[in-house]
């Protein structure tokens, strides 16, 4: 999202003894300079606005500026599978981001698809390991074990742990209040949906019916989460997807990814109490597993980076803190700021392009380079994802860190073409970048 900071022009003081001709000349110079600055600012704003919106910046839109905002979250369950690649191709062509709730066993089977969806900027959610209702809903400990099992698989593949969860079959009729409470206590956000495509109601649901179901927006809803599937036999969902995207685009919705910080959309607990006999875990188990797990997320902060007038936010888990370095995934970071990245398999080098800069991240030697500038031993490769230190990456982009601040919720980094003394003091204070 592009931030719109208040634009101020510092007044230039004049000498009262200056002749009228010099005075007028000086005033005209100031006016012309102001006009030039404003034109440049507008041009930069237009360019960065396009780059940020196209790359799916994660910043929330403030209510006072977007009271009429309508957003749709396309979500896909049970993958990665037979049709995930086709779904990704369509989303890439349409320049739309989505959220994938994946199964651990499928992620192990298709790690390259997991890497692909993350590299394209899509969000990753946890859908348990094997989707077996009887196991998952017999005992919360089993559900928890599968969440952790899938989480570990995804960390091996991507380098981060998603704390966004969707229950197989949805929470209605499966969760009692203890499931909700314990997952929240453990630092997870459980997300259901409010529009069901119906693509899993029976075998072979035709694309026309899926399209119709997917566009039945609840009355008054301005935020829509559409449930679809990319695993198993869902070729008809692929056929319906372009029409679904067109419908929401034509009706003024913007597309976004679901984040763990979003307000949860959850079904109510089933009134029949189907699982009343199900035993809740004991206090000792909860303290050892659930409460201890919460520190993975509660100790984390968001990372907000501003480059000129463009800004993007990386959620906890989407970046890493290593000693005194902030590490970011290269492809994801560049995409958020309108850059591009490709992989050279022969040299095992990621090549990023941002404006006139070409940056090489060599996973073998660990070097991060542009013409005439080399940073050694900084590049890391984990699970097919290239990680680089934020400060070094910004410098390779021709930028300098102008400020680094921190509060309980986030790190905030501002970068530009110059660095002030106050910026140096800020960086020295935190020693994190």
* Cis peptide preceding 80, ω within 30 of 0: yes
5 part of a folded domain: no
Residue 111 has pLDDT above 90, yes or no: yes
Nearest alpha-carbon partner for 164 in 130, 190, 136: 190
Q: How many domains does the chain have?
A: 2
Q: What pLDDT is recorded for position 16?
A: 35
| Together in a domain, 224 and 364 | no
349 part of a folded domain: yes
Q: How far, in Å, are 251, 293, 295 from residue 187 at the CA level? A: 35, 7, 8
Please, where are the H alpha helices in 163-265?
177-185, 207-214, 235-250
Give residue 423's domain range.
301-430
Nearest alpha-carbon partner for 339 in 284, 289, 392, 394: 394
Average pLDDT over residues 330-355: 92
Residue 19 has pLDDT above 60, yes or no: no
98-110 residue pLDDT tens: 999 999 999 999 9
**Least confident window among 21-35, 52-66, 115-129:** 52-66
283-299 residue pLDDT tens: 999 999 998 887 676 55
**pLDDT > 90 fraction of the chain, expressed in percent and rounded:** 53
| Together in a domain, 239 and 258 | yes
Q: What pLDDT is recorded for position 256?
A: 93
Cβ atoms of 257 and 122 within 8 Å: the answer is yes
| CATH for 373 | 3.30.457.10
20 part of a folded domain: no
Q: What pLDDT is recorded for position 80?
A: 97
Query: Please, what is the average pLDDT of the chain?
Result: 80
Q: Which residues participate in catalysis according to the annotation?
A: 77, 229
State the maximum Cα–Cα separation within the chain, in Å, rounded to a whole number.
93
| Together in a domain, 377 and 269 | no
279 part of a folded domain: yes
């Amino acid at each position: 999202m592009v931030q719109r900071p208040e634009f101020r022009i510092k007044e230039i003081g004049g000498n009262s003894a200056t002749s009228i001709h010099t005075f007028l000349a000086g005033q005209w110079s100031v006016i012309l300079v102001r006009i030039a600055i404003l034109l440049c600012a507008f041009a930069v704003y237009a360019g960065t606005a396009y780059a940020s919106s196209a790359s799916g910046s994660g910043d929330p839109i403030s209510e006072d500026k977007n009271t009429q905002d309508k957003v749709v979250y396309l979500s896909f369950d049970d993958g990665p599978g037979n049709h995930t690649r086709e779904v990704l191709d369509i989303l890439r062509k349409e320049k739309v981001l989505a959220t994938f709730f994946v199964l651990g066993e499928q992620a192990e089977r298709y790690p390259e698809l997991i890497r692909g969806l993350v590299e394209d900027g899509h969000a990753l959610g946890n859908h348990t390991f094997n989707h077996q209702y009887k196991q998952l809903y017999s005992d919360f400990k089993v559900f928890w074990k599968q969440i952790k099992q899938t989480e570990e698989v995804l960390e091996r593949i991507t380098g981060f742990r998603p704390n966004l969860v969707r229950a197989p079959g949805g929470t209605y009729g499966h969760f009692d209040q203890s499931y909700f409470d314990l997952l929240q206590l453990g630092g997870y956000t459980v997300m259901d949906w409010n529009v069901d495509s119906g693509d899993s109601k029976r075998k072979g649901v035709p694309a026309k019916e899926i399209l119709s179901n997917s566009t039945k927006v609840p009355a008054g809803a301005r935020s829509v989460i559409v449930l679809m599937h990319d695993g198993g036999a869902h070729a008809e969902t692929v056929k319906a997807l372009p029409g679904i995207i067109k419908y929401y685009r034509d009706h003024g919705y913007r597309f976004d990814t679901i984040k763990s910080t979003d307000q949860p959309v959850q079904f109510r607990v089933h009134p029949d109490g189907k699982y009343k006999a199900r035993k809740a875990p004991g206090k000792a188990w909860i303290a050892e597993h659930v409460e201890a797990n919460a520190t993975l997320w509660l100790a984390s902060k968001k990372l907000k980076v501003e480059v000129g007038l463009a800004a993007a936010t990386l959620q906890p888990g989407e970046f890493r803190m290593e000693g005194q370095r902030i590490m970011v995934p290269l492809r994801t970071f560049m995409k958020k700021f309108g850059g591009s990245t490709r992989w050279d398999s022969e040299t095992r080098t990621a090549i990023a392009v941002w404006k006139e800069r070409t940056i090489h991240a060599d996973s073998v030697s660990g070097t991060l380079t542009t013409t005439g500038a080399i940073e050694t031993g900084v590049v890391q490769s984990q699970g097919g994802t290239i990680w680089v230190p934020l400060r070094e990456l910004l410098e390779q982009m021709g930028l300098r860190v102008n400020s680094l601040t921190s509060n309980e919720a986030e790190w905030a980094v501002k970068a530009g073409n110059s660095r002030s003394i106050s910026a140096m003091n800020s960086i020295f204070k935190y020693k994190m970048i």
